[in-house]
């Protein structure tokens, strides 16, 4: 390697590392703070590394009313809405990709058009619809909107379109019903998209703020983000406790990411869905 190349490589790592460190400062600060005692929290000069680290904040966190419940709530909502969306959207995608019927294109365009209206515009009437069905302040109100997810239908349809129709014909020839063809042939071929969608949807639901903020009222129903934001009002300036909470809330997604990086990447390239 000549000298110029060596310099460039050095500069590359310098820049890459500088950005990485800058991005890690807030996360480092979260971890460090979560291990601090009340005294260390407001000590000056600030302690980058706590002099007397303690796990007391985590103990307090888990004994805070509603915290453990909120973990459960978040899990239930995320898992159930993923399942609901995958089932309902794959069925619809199957109809759009493999069954010819009149008005198919028009209906699909309606699906695409619906993607232009974000939750930020519709949360008021969504609240009314839920309250009409006596579903406000229930976890169900966060799960059932998953019935209709145009982008999931869109992604699954894309994949199903690539499956040759010969599979459909062969199945029909063997006397398989449409339902069996869907369950035994088409759905298994979409495994990769299912995994990708499941991860995107799980993360979206786990991290969601607006919808649970609008729907939920009682502490025992709160999902983690809502409980954390309420706690931050209650425990003003107890940042050691809050940082412990923030860290705990991140762990499931980090584990998911570590285990399924491949699908995260695929999800980004396909959908561009943001957390």
14-33 positions binding other proteins, by CB under 8 A: 15-16, 19-20, 23-27, 29-30, 33
Question: For 271, which DSSP code?
Answer: T
Q: Which of 49, 52, 109, 117 binds other proteins (CB under 8 A)?
A: 117
We find the least distance from the C-beta atom of residue 103 to other proteins, in angstroms, to be 8
Q: Is 175 in the site for other proteins (CB under 8 A)?
A: yes
Closest CA to 196 of 85, 32, 30: 85
The pattern of x and - marking residues 198 through 227 that bind other proteins according to CB under 8 A reads: -----x--xx-xx--xx---------xxx-
105, 147 Cβ separation under 8 angstroms:
no
Helix (H, G, I), strand (E, B) or coil at 219: helix
Question: For 41, which DSSP code?
Answer: H
Q: Is 99 in the site for other proteins (CB under 8 A)?
A: yes
Q: Is 10 in the site for other proteins (CB under 8 A)?
A: no
Q: Which of 1, 2, 39, 102 binds other proteins (CB under 8 A)?
A: 102
Q: Is 62 in the site for other proteins (CB under 8 A)?
A: no
Q: Is 92 in the site for other proteins (CB under 8 A)?
A: yes
Residue 231 CA to residue 226 CA, distance in Å, equals 8
Q: Is 185 in the site for other proteins (CB under 8 A)?
A: no
Q: Is 187 in the site for other proteins (CB under 8 A)?
A: no
Tokens matching residue 53? 């680290």
Tokens matching residue 266? 């695929």
We find the least distance from the C-beta atom of residue 126 to other proteins, in angstroms, to be 5
Q: Is 118 in the site for other proteins (CB under 8 A)?
A: yes
Half-sphere exposure of residue 12, counting CA atoms within 13 Å on the CB side? 6
Q: Is 2 in the site for other proteins (CB under 8 A)?
A: no
Query: Could you tell me which stretch among 56-64, 65-73, 141-149, 188-196 binds other proteins (CB under 8 A)?
Result: 141-149
Cα Rg for the chain, rounded, in angstroms?
A: 24
Q: Is 189 in the site for other proteins (CB under 8 A)?
A: no
Q: Is 58 in the site for other proteins (CB under 8 A)?
A: no
For 9, other C-beta atoms within 10 Å of its C-beta total 11
Residue 90 CA to residue 147 CA, distance in Å, equals 11
We find the least distance from the C-beta atom of residue 33 to other proteins, in angstroms, to be 6
Any idea which residue has 């809405």 for tokens?
81
> DSSP letters of 17-33?
HHHHHHHHHHHHHHHHH
Any idea which residue has 């493999």 for tokens?
98
Q: Is 39 in the site for other proteins (CB under 8 A)?
A: no
Q: Is 262 in the site for other proteins (CB under 8 A)?
A: no
């Amino acid at each position: 390697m000549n000298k110029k190349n060596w310099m460039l490589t050095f500069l590359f790592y310098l820049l890459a590392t500088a950005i990485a460190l800058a991005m890690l400062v807030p996360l480092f600060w979260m971890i460090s703070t979560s291990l601090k005692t009340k005294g260390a929290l407001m000590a000056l000069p600030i302690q980058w590394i706590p002099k007397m680290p303690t796990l007391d904040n985590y103990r307090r966190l888990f004994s805070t009313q509603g915290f453990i419940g909120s973990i459960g709530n978040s899990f239930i909502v995320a898992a159930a809405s993923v399942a609901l969306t995958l089932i309902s959207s794959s069925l619809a995608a199957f109809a759009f990709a493999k069954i010819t019927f009149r008005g198919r294109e028009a209906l699909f365009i309606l699906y695409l058009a619906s993607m232009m209206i974000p939750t930020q515009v519709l949360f008021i009437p969504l609240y009314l619809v839920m309250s009409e069905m006596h579903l406000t302040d229930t976890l169900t109100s966060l799960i059932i909107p998953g019935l209709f997810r145009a982008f999931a239908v869109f992604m699954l349809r894309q994949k199903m379109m690539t499956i040759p129709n010969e599979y459909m014909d062969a199945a029909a020839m063997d006397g398989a019903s449409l339902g069996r063809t869907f369950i035994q042939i088409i759905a298994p071929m979409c495994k990769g998209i299912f995994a990708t969608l499941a991860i995107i949807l799980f993360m979206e639901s786990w991290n969601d703020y607006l919808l649970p903020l609008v729907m939920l009222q009682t502490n025992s129903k709160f999902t983690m983000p809502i409980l954390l934001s309420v706690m931050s009002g209650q425990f003003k300036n107890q940042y050691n406790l809050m940082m412990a909470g923030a860290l705990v809330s991140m762990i499931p997604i980090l584990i998911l990411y570590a285990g399924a990086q491949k699908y995260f990447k695929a999800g980004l390239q396909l959908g561009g869905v943001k957390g």
